[in-house]
Every structure is written in C-alpha cells, then in structure tokens.
Homo-oligomer: A and B are copies of this chain.
Amino acid sequence: MGKVLIIGAGGVGTVVANKVAQNSRIFTDIMLASRTKSKCDAIAEDVKRRTGVTIRTAQVDADNVPELTALFNMFKPELVINVALPYQDLTIMDACLACGVNYLDTANYEPKDEAKFEYKWQWAYQERFREAGLTAILGCGFDPGVTSIFTAYAAKHHFDEIHYLDIVDCNAGDHGKAFATNFNPEINIREVTQKGKYWENGQWVETEPHEIHKPLTYPNIGPKESYLIYHEELESLVKNFPTLKRARFWMTFGQEYLTHLRVIQNIGMARIDEVEYNGQKIVPIQFLKAVLPDPGELGENYTGETSIGCRIRGIKDGKERTYYIYNNCSHQAAYEETGAQGVSYTTGVPATIGAMMFMQGIWKKPGVFNVEEFDPDPFMEQLNKQGLPWHELFDVDLEL
C-alpha cells in the first residue's frame, strides 16, 4: 500500500522498524535512515531475522535539509516517521514540505539552547502543511500520544464534560544499572530537571522542580512516589478540551534516580550551554550522554513493567464520574519481541499505529494536528492488536 521512511535508529526506531515490518501489508516499502548507517543496518538485519521483511537503509543527517530532501526525492516516501531527536523536527518538516511528504513524530520540537517544551514552533507550520495538502501528526508516542488518545476516547464515550485530568506515568522497571535514562539522556534530563507546571482554572501554575509529589497506586505495581512535572501534551490537551478545569502530569522517580539527577545538575553536567574545553566547544549534557549507558542497551536484563494512563473526573448525564484508563507494558516482553525495552516499545508502537492510521486514510487531513484531534476509536482498536492492550476502571478512587 505505501512507502514509509523511518528516521532515527535508537530504541524507538528499533521498535518502529519491527512493528512496521510486522504490518508489511500496509507498509509495503520500508526505509530506515539515521546519521549512522551501520546502526540502521544492524536493526534491518535483526528485523529480517524476526519478521522475514527486508528494510532498506540509508545515511542521513537530520539537521541538514538538503540531505533530507535528496533522500526524500530518491526514496519518495508517502510518510516520514520521525523518531530522531526533537531538535530535528523542524528540519524534517521543512524537507517534507519541500518534497510533498507527510509527517509524523513522537516528541515536540525543542531548541537546542533552551529546554522548552512548546508546540508553537510546530503549530506555526499549520498553514504550510494545509496549503500543500499534507498531513503532519504531532506527538504520536505514548506520552505524548496514547495519553491524549485515551483522553479523546474518554471524552467521546464516557463523559459529557471532562473536568479533571491527571496523566500518570510509572516506570516500575529495574535495569540493574546504578543510573541510566530510559531514552535519550539529554532529552530526559532536560525534561525532568525543568520546573513543574500544570493547568488550573484557566491558567498555568508553575512549581519548583519536583516540589509536588505523592504516592499513587499503579495497577499490578502498587504505590510509587509520583512527581508533578510538566509534560508537553498538557499544552495541546487544554487547548483541545476547553472544559478542563485542571490538567496535570505525574511521573514516578526513585530516590536514587533523583539523587543522581540532583548531583548531575550540581556538578554542571546538566548544562545545555557550551563550555570551552581544549579549544573545543562542548555542551556538558551532550558529553554526559556519551558516557552514560546507551538506553538502547538496557533491554536485555530489564525486568518489571511500565504503567501509563489517564485518571479523569467529569460529568456524564449530569452526574460526576471517575474513570481510569491505562496500559501496562512488560520490559521483558517488549525486549523479546523487538530487542528494545518497554519505554522504547511504548513510544514506537503508537508511532507505528499512527502511521497505519495515516496510510489507511483514517487519520489524513491537510494541516498540522495533535493526535487528540483525530478519531480515537480505530487507533484504540489497534493498540489492543499491536501489543499495548488497555484497561478501564470506572468510578474508582483516583487518589487525586
């Protein structure tokens, strides 16, 4: 049915390559490209062994628009699945516009020199994508991604108005390392060390980093200390669901993880500005990334599971109700299926489903959209089929 180009050969790219290959009736021609072609070749070889499907590979510098357009014009994909770095969203979108290619990503653009998680840069492409008749699907991983689709599904089927939304993200996995991040350390540390922020009564409320926290109970896991942090889907959700009185995001962190983060900041290794070193300019957090364990290598001995979901309170038929929808994902099952751990899996599977939605013409309209602006039902159906089954609880204590 269609040609797809995956950009990015980290853990998420590994999962997307596997899942796209598993769905080769929809994705009939697949290419995987990244800065380091040997990484793509290794993934392609593994995918071939697991699924029998052949994936083409290519080298591309996703910071470089001419390189991207040359690749797009050569391969002529219908859709690009961008699972490279968030810094590269805009160059890839530019190349899509230049070549008439549709676009999907899993994390919003972020400028390299400030840790800002805002959609404004990508939303600014709305007119150009619409005029070009191209679809851009933003933030189609798990969070952002499935959490917004869960919210849209709840709003469509279970509520007349949703008032309170708490997205709860627990990773109860154990990778056996003293310290490692579950995805790109640079992005992870930038995200987690920023100030907290949530939406309440029509405005954003800012908190100190990790200022607000409480234990929340996760299905099949139990209580885990959870910290209010800012997460990018809050921005689009409060825009697209104006009945929301409050929207927050909670993530679990262990004490050791927080201690490591605190020290990394104290010693200056979380800095995102350039430092002079031996006549070279080096960004400390990028150098740190080079010495920390590669998140893609965490899979093999990773035990435990993730649990991510939405806890919602609102009105149905004039009565208040509560609703909790979630998915639990086992790190080991993810690794056995794709060679990547659960955090990569929960991001890569939704990206693949989003691409399926586009390829099948279900999620296809000119312009730039967040995932909650599409019909959630066909996506929700695929979650159950593609390895991320979800569960609903009605009228339970949300703890929030």
Contacts and interface: CB of A to CB of B under 8 A. Distances in A.
Contacts of A290: 275-277
A220 interface: no
Given A277-B282, A277-B290, A287-B287, A269 B266 contact: no
A280 B264 CA distance: 23
B267 A291 contact: yes
B275 A291 contact: yes
A105 to B, nearest CB: 25
Interface residues of A, number: 23
B269 A260 contact: no
Contact of A280 (B179, B266, B269, B280): B280
Nearest to A177: B266
Given A271-B291, A278-B282, 18 more contacts: A178-B266, A179-B263, A179-B267, A260-B267, A267-B269, A267-B291, A267-B292, A268-B291, A268-B292, A269-B269, A269-B288, A275-B290, A277-B287, A278-B280, A282-B282, A284-B287, A284-B291, A287-B287
19 contacts: A179-B267, A260-B263, A260-B266, A260-B267, A263-B263, A267-B269, A267-B288, A267-B292, A268-B291, A268-B292, A269-B291, A271-B291, A276-B290, A277-B282, A278-B280, A278-B282, A282-B282, A282-B287, A287-B287
